[in-house]
Amino acid sequence: MVVLVVEDETLVRMFMTDFLDEAGFKVFEAVNADEAMTVLKARPDVQVVVTDIEMPAGSMNGLNLARAIQERWPGIGIVITSGRERPGPDDLSDRVAFLAKPYLPDTIINVIRQLATPQVVEPQSAQSA
């Protein structure tokens, strides 16, 4: 499972990368939304993006990054995190989750696994049989 962590705070990013790596994920890092978009263009195997809302550097915050990802790569799951700001109901969908900081590593690991698990869709012929 491939995860992209977008976090401007170096220690938070390193901590998250470490525990996700230990949980068996392949992890890429980005310091801001612009760097995240570059990684996503180069890595079509990213399944989930974990982003902080507040990222002063770069052209957009985490909410705008989430919207851009949903438009361009609708299959990617997104975990939005923040210790201060909360997304509105329009920012969340079945492919977007919000976790308030601080959170336990196990909590975010479980959310990532849920978002990255492909949803099984029954073929029409199987449903009518």
| Residue pair 30/50 in contact by the 8 Å Cβ criterion | no
pTM: 0.86
Confidence tier at 37 by pLDDT (50, 70, 90): very high
Nearest CA among 37, 1, 9, 29 for reference residue 110:
1
Collapsed DSSP state (helix, strand, coil) of residue 5:
strand
Write the pLDDT tens digit of every residue in 67-125: 999 999 999 999 999 888 777 767 667 778 999 989 999 999 999 999 986 655 445 44
Q: From CA 85, how far away is CA 3, in angstroms rounded?
A: 23
Quote the tokens at residue 45: 């195997």
Q: Which domains does the chain have, with CATH numbers?
A: 2-103 (3.40.50.2300)
